[in-house]
Amino acid sequence: MRRGFTHQLNSSALDPGQRQLRIEGLGLHFGELVALDDVSLEIRQGEIMAIIGPNGAGKTSLLNCISGLYRPQKGRILFTNRGEHDTTRLSPDRIARLGIARSFQNIELFRHMSVLDNLLSGCSIHMKAGLLSCMLYWGKAEREQLAFRRFVEDIVDLLEIAAVRKQTVESLAYGLQKRVELGRALAMKPALLLLDEPMAGMNSEEKEDMARFILDVNEEHGITIVLIEHDMGVIMDISDRIAVLNFGSKIAEGSPDEIRADQAVIHAYLGDE
The structural domains of the chain, ordered by start, are 19-270 (3.40.50.300)
- Residue 267 burial (CB count, 10 A): 12
pTM of the predicted model over 0.85: yes
Task: Please provide the DSSP assignment of 209-221 as one string.
Answer: HHHHHHHHHHHHH
Axis-axis angle for helices 174-186, 115-123 (nearest 10): 30
Question: What's the pLDDT at 267?
Answer: 86
Q: Closest Cα partner for 255 from 82, 74, 44, 111?
A: 44
How far apart (Å, rounded) are the C-alpha atoms in residues 252 and 137? 52
| The pairing of beta strand 241-246 with beta strand 48-52 | parallel
Question: What's the pLDDT at 112?
Answer: 86
- Quick one: which H or E segment has residue 136? helix 131-136
For residue 132, report the phi and psi dihedrals to the nearest 5 degrees: -60, -45
Question: What's the pLDDT at 39?
Answer: 97
- Residue 192 backbone zone (phi > 0: left; psi -120 to 50: alpha; other: beta): beta
pLDDT in tens, the chain (273 residues): 344 454 556 556 778 889 999 999 999 999 999 999 999 999 999 999 999 999 899 999 999 999 999 999 999 999 999 889 999 999 999 999 999 999 887 777 888 888 988 888 887 777 665 444 444 555 566 677 777 788 888 999 999 999 998 999 999 998 899 999 999 899 899 999 999 999 988 899 999 999 999 999 999 889 999 999 989 999 999 999 999 999 999 999 999 999 999 998 888 776 655
The amino acid at 156: V
How far apart (Å, rounded) are the C-alpha atoms in residues 19 and 252? 19
How far apart (Å, rounded) are the C-alpha atoms in residues 1 and 58? 41
How far apart (Å, rounded) are the C-alpha atoms in residues 58 and 250? 9
